[in-house]
Chain A
Amino acid sequence: MPFVRVVPSKTQSSRALVAWVVLAVLAVPALAGAGAGSSVRPAKPPAPDPRGLELFEKQIRPLLSSRCYSCHSSQAATPAAGLRLDSSKALRKGGAHGAAVVAGDPEQSLLIRVVRHAGGAPRMPPSGRLSDAEVGALVRWVRLGAPMDAGTAPQAQVGSGPGFWAFQPVRTPVPPPVRQRAWVSNPVDAFVLARLEAAGLSPAPPADRRDLVRRVTFDLTGLPPTPEEVDAFVADRAPDAWEKVVDRLLASPRYGEKWGRRWLDVARYADSNGLDENLAYANAWRYRDYVIGALNQDLPYDEFVTEQIAGDLLPPAPDPAVNHRRLVATGFLSLGPKMLAEDDPAKMEMDIIDEQLDTIGKGFLGLTLGCARCHDHKFDPIPMVDYYALAGILKSTRTMENFNVVAVWHENLLAAPEEVRRFQAAETALTEARAALDRRKTAATQALLKRERGKVAAYLLGATRAIRESVRDEEIPSEATRWKLAAPLLRQWITHLSKARTDAGSVLAEWVRAAGLTGPGVVAAPPSLEALAARYQEQVTAAVAAWEALRAGDPKAARLPDAALEPYRALAFDSPGPYASPAGAEAYFLPDEQQEIAQLTMRVEERTRMVPSIPRAMGVAEGSPTDLKIHLRGNYLTQGELAPRGFLRAVSVVSAPRAPANGSGRLELARWITAAQNPLTARVLVNRVWMGHFGEGLVRSLDNFGRLGERPSHPELLDWLAASFSSPSPASPPASAAAPASVSPAPYPLNWSLKRLHRLILTSSTYRMSTAYRSQAGAKDPENRLLWRMNRRRLDAEEVRDSILAVSGGLDLKMGGTLLPLKNREYVTSTANRDTTDYNAPRRAVYLPVVRSSLYDLFTAFDFGDPSVVNGQRGATVVAPQALFLMNGKLVLRETRRLADRLLSLAGADDAARVQAAFRIVFSRAAAPVEVERHLAFLHRIESSLAERVPEAAERRARAWQSFCRVLLSTNEFLYLE
């Protein structure tokens, strides 16, 4: 938009143009005094005023970007009036009308005049006057010299430099000496005990064996132990009894379900997109099953990370199942919430990349990278250029098929390459066959219409007859056959003629009058009706001929120039109208046309059958390698220097590979993340596992190891665990934790094995402490940061649900697959706001659909968290909806009844034995005699309260036992782990 022309109304523009040209001619020499076409200030301006720079970054740049740059920047193909406002130089150089700004002098600056809508000058911006505050800011900025930086991000120097603890290499500390050496089962205990002793505290005594087996069974499997498992452990006096329990649980498939879910929290897993267009991710479950499987088979963590970032780029394995698994793993990058209906595709793409970086950063590295999208990270050593170096890797990756509204995410086909090729060839063949069929049908329809345009008279008479006789719709075919007409066209004629009865302007108005169709009654037809019908036929025939001749010369012609004939053309061709392409006209095609169409239809059917059905998985593929420029203030419309693809400079990994020119760099990114020298990856992971067992991390901000995160409570322990975790294992597995009488100074080489890491932590004395409260310790360390006892913890959402089903006997342990009742990309909640998902399946909760923006009520009540973001640690609130669920939830009502029936059907048991059985199932312990008495009394009270309402004794008894079960499942003893 040229600078001069744009004024709000057309009428003002010519006068304004004249005035403006005069002004410009006068003004330019004055403004450009310091040198035509160059800066009005000396070539080397003094250092810019920092206040001006700050003002620029905070207010001016966003303002220019949103209100001016679409016409006046390098993003415009031709900057309007030759004026660009996106660099200091361009600003001072100005456009066709001279410099836009006189630094330090707002009154002399063109920019200010136009935004003030000062007389004579054009008014800018054309989309509406800036607010007074905005104009004021521009004036202040010009007065301060109108400084702009050159778009170069300064090196981040603030806050946590490479010297910050999280960026320092992981050390291998020697476990410290302790006084109470007998307590030390493995080096973990030495680190914990040393700090306790230094603080004058002592560890809690070991937990009761029943509490312990309940604790570890929930911690590793998310389910309560069976009474038999409890008894077995209590009775097992072997020195390795504990290790056997831990090993048994780690080998259980339930382990992958429990800890897989923990990873899914980090991976912000969900079965729908959420945000604006909540489409079903009907293939997301494959990623969920992948995670559960990977944990159950103890896939080393470095491989687990690599597969999720770059599984598609690993060298092909001989086993195709492995290759498919790796494709599924890349679903990690694709599962995030996406604004699928964003009118600005470039913004959509950068937002998706930002979401991916946010997840990678927090999930693997414990860093909030998102800050550096708009400015150098204020606290961590992450300059913008590093953010865009990483963003380039994802920009070079194909996550989406397109960025339309509604956008389509990419999915990978899970098949061998030759099968994929076969699939693609078959799809192409099918598309071709469909197109051929459509073409043939269209041609036959056109031929039919052409034939029937010669029967205008017959149709007119037929339709008139049908209207007069009120022929019913189902009678139209036989009527048509009688008069040798095509039923679909007769139907269209009837519709059209009926409309014409009330439309005096219709070309059929004369017919309507002649046929007496104007009024509601029926008037006898005058004898001349046939002649009139013949006249209509003549006109239509003439119009068709004229139209065909005209279109032969001008295929784009829209109407006949002959105004008298044009209505007949419209009658013969337009839609809606009697000759619009009808549906169901096949029966009226010529025999050879019908035969050809039948053959083509068969071909489509054959080819449909030939398309192999191939499972699909959400995931990514390689795109075209691209380096991004940094986006100033995160706005892609204002770009700065180029940021070649790469990684974070603050994390120096010696053997860091570089992003290749011919690939995205994802595999190299994965190698960089999992490099043994990367100080963050192992620390972040061992901290997650620690939190899973102790309720708090050694670093309590699980997803933020940066300067604004918390410092580790036990830095040496964290490092010792991290070093052990990433150490390659020698031939033999780590020494049994039961054995060491003295603490080994060397780390346990765990070779990225999560199961070994669990085992190491769980076999510590620290883990086996009781939760017993001691007021002296509580006074010294109220938050238990030093671990003077075990933390009590509430069951999480899945544990609540799964254990209710487990104790009732209703739990179905079938693994894997999907319970989402939706087709891929289908709307989860239509605008009718119905969520059709059924959460009543008795499967483990990890297999229930996770629907963003419409989460299962139970998940919401029990702190499942928002599945749109990385969630390293869930809340454990106590809110009323939890109580409401336990009191009124359908699942609770159903399963407590099942448990009651289960107890009542115990053979040869009296009620006291039933109470005992219930305690063993629900609490993993026996009831004391006094407890049995109280519960029996309660049962009796309920039964007598129900006496009048429930006449049938068996039902009354069942209801009383159901009340008893509901109480047990609502107790703190059931809901909290000691």
Chain B
Amino acid sequence: MNRHWNAGARGLSRRQYLQRSGAGFGALALAGLLGEEARAAGKSGADTSSAMAPRPPHFAPKAKRVLFLFMHGGPSQVDTFDYKPRLQAESGNPLPFPKPRVVSSATGNLLGSPFPFQQHGQSGRWVSSLFPEVAKHVDDLCFLYSMYGSNSRHGAALLELHTGSDTFVRPSMGSWITYGLGTENQNLPGFITICPTLTHGGVNNWASAFLPAVYQGTPIGNAGTASDQAQIPFIQNTETPRDIQRQELDFLGALNRERMGRTGPDTALEARIESFELAFRMQSTVPGLQDISDETPATRRLYGLEESKTRNFGRQCLMARRFLERGVRFVQVTHSYKWDQHDQLRSGHTSNAAEVDLPISGLLTDLKARGLLEDTLVLWGGEFGRTPCAQGGDGRDHNPHGFTMWLTGAGVKPGFGYGATDEFGYYSTEHRVHFHDLHATLLHLLGLDHKRLTYRYVGRDFRLTDVHGEIVTPILA
């Protein structure tokens, strides 16, 4: 049954309730489940929570919010964090075991990484020359070397990563998390995705599918927008002066309240009045949050805003911190579809990493300095990795069979590495971690049991992890 809400004596499902009176981004003092009944009886609503009000998790959480740094296209594990001496030694030789039955493109022999690796920090984790700045944080990172998915195409792999399904339209993990926990700042959306891609599943990667619409991600711009131009739909009005708009809303509120007197109690009508106030606050709050002029020069440098190469992604990262700081539950930052090096691996990965390395490092430094890393979980990775075998002379094909993601922050072991791929970095072989397992672990860290976080839709209880998912307990701090 649906968590929290289905237990109502009236049997009105949470979905039906939300269909009529989903309260949007705001904490509405609705009569809630007792609705008209309670009001008619002159009682105050027993349940004053709204769809987005913070809700207690199933058990004590380690993390309160999630930041996902998504590297669209599929960064190569064997060129970044998964060091494979044998791949280097046997570069040019054939792969000594079979390739997968289904592949995206034909590949040839092994291709050693053009990027030298070094050990870093106390933990001695290996990092390639692509990430010199992130390398300084290895003692805080928790690497999952044995990630795997089941689809070798971008679209399907993105959907699998974001929703758990490469076959059907399902709610995004951010939607599940806001459904489970609500959000902490009622003037902001609970789930924000900064410059997301419109391709490879597009909206479905942040949509709520059958979950109520309030849980869908709010996109700020898209991957085609420069991050300083990114906006929430309809947030801006260059025509109507703010004070005129205020007068309009005051008058509108008066008209609507008066009509309530004639129609009798109706939570939806009441919620509508409040929704305009929320919208008015949002259009003040959000652009203010996106305006980073109050950040110090030191912070701007930290995120790479002073350099053309890192400015765009740096600004995305800085916006992410500002949203996290104000209690947004799930923030995703997308580094646009650049990591797909079927050829020109050396130059492509060099340039991609150069765009994100400093901003990510700056973000981690900043989160730590502000104490946010203590209750924020950060996830880094792409929809799959890349083959250790060469495609063409200087490229790598998609590889969902084994790749690396990393976590840091609340609840995960720092300076830790979990699982492994084979000696060449092709297949996840030890302590394999599927997307479902990752999802189960994220929910666990947020205090949610992935088997209990369900939503009933056309007669079936759905979960983010479908019928799968095992918590990766060894990485838990």
Q: Which residues of A contact B (CB under 8 A)?
A: 1, 6, 8-10, 70, 126-129, 131-133, 274-278, 337, 339, 341-344, 351, 354, 362, 368, 371, 379, 405, 700-701, 703-704, 706-709, 771-773, 775, 778-779, 782-783, 792, 794, 827, 829-835, 852-855, 857, 860-861, 863, 866, 868-869, 875-889, 893, 938, 941-942, 945-946, 949, 963, 966-967, 970-973, 975-976, 978
Interface centre among A834, A884, A886, A970 (most CB of B within 10 A): A884
CB within 8 A of B272: which of A379, A708, A778, A972?
Answer: A972
A-facing residues in B146-160 (Cβ within 8 Å):
151-156, 158-159
A275 touches B201 (CB 8 A): yes
Given contact pairs A782-B10, A832-B224, A875-B19, A967 touches B252 in the complex (Cβ within 8 A): yes
Distance of B1 from chain A, by nearest CB (Å) = 12
Given contact pairs A276-B155, A783-B10, A792-B263, A879 touches B22 in the complex (Cβ within 8 A): yes
A-facing residues in B1-57 (Cβ within 8 Å):
10, 12, 16, 18-26, 35-37, 40-41
Given contact pairs A343-B152, A700-B16, A876-B20, A70 touches B101 in the complex (Cβ within 8 A): yes
A773 touches B265 (CB 8 A): yes
A884 touches B283 (CB 8 A): yes
**B116 at the binding interface (Cβ < 8 Å):** no
B422 touches A128 (CB 8 A): yes
A-facing residues in B365-413 (Cβ within 8 Å):
401-402
Cβ of A782: which chain B residues have Cβ within 8 Å of it?
A: 10, 12, 35-37
**B476 at the binding interface (Cβ < 8 Å):** no
Can you offer 21 A-B residue contacts whose CB atoms are under 8 A? A276-B153, A278-B198, A339-B155, A405-B104, A708-B458, A773-B40, A773-B263, A779-B40, A782-B35, A782-B37, A877-B22, A877-B212, A878-B268, A879-B214, A887-B245, A893-B239, A942-B247, A946-B244, A966-B248, A971-B259, A972-B260
Cβ of A275: which chain B residues have Cβ within 8 Å of it?
A: 155-156, 159, 201, 204
Distance of B86 from chain A, by nearest CB (Å) = 9
Interface of B is mostly: loop
Binds A, one of B127-135, B274-282, B322-330: B274-282
Q: Give CA–CA (A624, B103) in the complex, Å.
A: 28
Cβ of B278: which chain A residues have Cβ within 8 Å of it?
A: 880, 883
Q: Give CA–CA (A278, B198) in the complex, Å.
A: 9
Q: Give CA–CA (A335, B109) in the complex, Å.
A: 41
CB within 8 A of A379: which of B10, B232, B459?
Answer: B459
A971 touches B256 (CB 8 A): yes
B223 touches A833 (CB 8 A): yes
Distance of A436 from chain B, by nearest CB (Å) = 33
Q: Give CA–CA (A794, B268) in the complex, Å.
A: 9
Distance of B53 from chain A, by nearest CB (Å) = 14
Q: Give CA–CA (A941, B23) in the complex, Å.
A: 31
A405 touches B169 (CB 8 A): no
A773 touches B36 (CB 8 A): yes
CB within 8 A of B156: which of A341, A379, A877?
Answer: A341
CB within 8 A of B234: which of A274, A277, A707, A885?
Answer: A885
Q: Give CA–CA (A781, B333) in the complex, Å.
A: 47
Q: Can you name the residue of chain A whose Cβ is closest to the Cβ of B432? A: A131
CB within 8 A of A866: which of B96, B169, B233, B247?
Answer: B169
**B70 at the binding interface (Cβ < 8 Å):** no
- Which 7 A-B pairs rank lowest in CB-CB distance, beginning with the nearest? A276-B155, A708-B459, A773-B264, A853-B202, A833-B224, A128-B429, A883-B279
B97 touches A771 (CB 8 A): no
Cβ of A855: which chain B residues have Cβ within 8 Å of it?
A: 203
A868 touches B169 (CB 8 A): yes
Q: Give CA–CA (A878, B241) in the complex, Å.
A: 25
Q: Give CA–CA (A275, B151) in the complex, Å.
A: 13
Q: Give CA–CA (A883, B214) in the complex, Å.
A: 14
A-facing residues in B194-247 (Cβ within 8 Å):
197-204, 207, 209-210, 212-214, 216, 218, 222-225, 232-237, 239-241, 243-245, 247
Cβ of B203: which chain A residues have Cβ within 8 Å of it?
A: 853-855, 860
B40 touches A775 (CB 8 A): yes
A893 touches B240 (CB 8 A): yes
Q: Give CA–CA (A250, B152) in the complex, Å.
A: 51
B24 touches A877 (CB 8 A): yes
Cβ of A880: which chain B residues have Cβ within 8 Å of it?
A: 24-26, 275, 278-279, 282
Cβ of B269: which chain A residues have Cβ within 8 Å of it?
A: 972, 976
B470 touches A887 (CB 8 A): no
Q: Give CA–CA (A832, B223) in the complex, Å.
A: 7
A276 touches B96 (CB 8 A): no
CB within 8 A of B458: which of A129, A339, A368, A868?
Answer: A368
Cβ of B244: which chain A residues have Cβ within 8 Å of it?
A: 942, 945-946, 963
Cβ of B169: which chain A residues have Cβ within 8 Å of it?
A: 337, 866, 868-869
Number of A-B contacts (CB under 8 A): 290
B233 touches A853 (CB 8 A): no
Q: Give CA–CA (A934, B195) in the complex, Å.
A: 45
Given contact pairs A772-B264, A834-B224, A127 touches B98 in the complex (Cβ within 8 A): yes
Cβ of A344: which chain B residues have Cβ within 8 Å of it?
A: 102
Q: Give CA–CA (A855, B153) in the complex, Å.
A: 23
Cβ of B102: which chain A residues have Cβ within 8 Å of it?
A: 343-344
Q: Give CA–CA (A792, B269) in the complex, Å.
A: 10
**B255 at the binding interface (Cβ < 8 Å):** yes
B234 touches A888 (CB 8 A): yes
Distance of B118 from chain A, by nearest CB (Å) = 27
A941 touches B97 (CB 8 A): no
Cβ of A706: which chain B residues have Cβ within 8 Å of it?
A: 459
Q: Give CA–CA (A707, B282) in the complex, Å.
A: 43
A887 touches B156 (CB 8 A): no
Q: Give CA–CA (A561, B16) in the complex, Å.
A: 79
Cβ of A884: which chain B residues have Cβ within 8 Å of it?
A: 232-235, 279, 282-283
CB within 8 A of B276: which of A354, A860, A970?
Answer: A970
Q: Give CA–CA (A149, B262) in the complex, Å.
A: 66
Given contact pairs A126-B97, A893-B237, A853 touches B24 in the complex (Cβ within 8 A): no
Cβ of A832: which chain B residues have Cβ within 8 Å of it?
A: 224
B21 touches A861 (CB 8 A): no
Cβ of A945: which chain B residues have Cβ within 8 Å of it?
A: 243-244, 247
CB within 8 A of B97: which of A127, A963, A966?
Answer: A127
B233 touches A704 (CB 8 A): no
B431 touches A131 (CB 8 A): yes
B155 touches A877 (CB 8 A): no
Given contact pairs A6-B97, A866-B209, A971-B256, A835 touches B198 in the complex (Cβ within 8 A): yes
Q: Can you name the residue of chain A whose Cβ is closest to the Cβ of B457? A: A704
**B343 at the binding interface (Cβ < 8 Å):** no
Cβ of B41: which chain A residues have Cβ within 8 Å of it?
A: 775, 779
Q: Can you name the residue of chain B whose Cβ is closest to the Cβ of A835? A: B198
Q: Give CA–CA (A717, B216) in the complex, Å.
A: 38
Q: Can you name the residue of chain B whose Cβ is closest to the Cβ of A70? A: B101
CB within 8 A of B153: which of A342, A704, A869?
Answer: A342
Cβ of B249: which chain A residues have Cβ within 8 Å of it?
A: 887
Given contact pairs A274-B204, A855-B203, A888 touches B25 in the complex (Cβ within 8 A): no
A276 touches B237 (CB 8 A): no
Given contact pairs A8-B423, A875-B212, A887-B234, A368 touches B459 in the complex (Cβ within 8 A): yes
Contacts A278-B202, A884-B279 known; 16 new A-B pairs at CB < 8 A: A127-B97, A278-B198, A368-B459, A778-B36, A779-B37, A783-B10, A833-B222, A877-B20, A878-B271, A883-B275, A883-B276, A884-B233, A887-B279, A945-B247, A971-B259, A972-B273
Distance of B345 from chain A, by nearest CB (Å) = 19
**B266 at the binding interface (Cβ < 8 Å):** yes
Interface centre among A368, A835, A887 (most CB of B within 10 A): A887
Distance of A116 from chain B, by nearest CB (Å) = 14
Q: Give CA–CA (A807, B21) in the complex, Å.
A: 27
Cβ of B100: which chain A residues have Cβ within 8 Å of it?
A: 127
**B59 at the binding interface (Cβ < 8 Å):** no
**B455 at the binding interface (Cβ < 8 Å):** no
Given contact pairs A276-B155, A704-B458, A792-B263, A854 touches B202 in the complex (Cβ within 8 A): yes
Q: Give CA–CA (A886, B151) in the complex, Å.
A: 42
Cβ of A276: which chain B residues have Cβ within 8 Å of it?
A: 153-156, 158-159, 200-201
**B80 at the binding interface (Cβ < 8 Å):** no
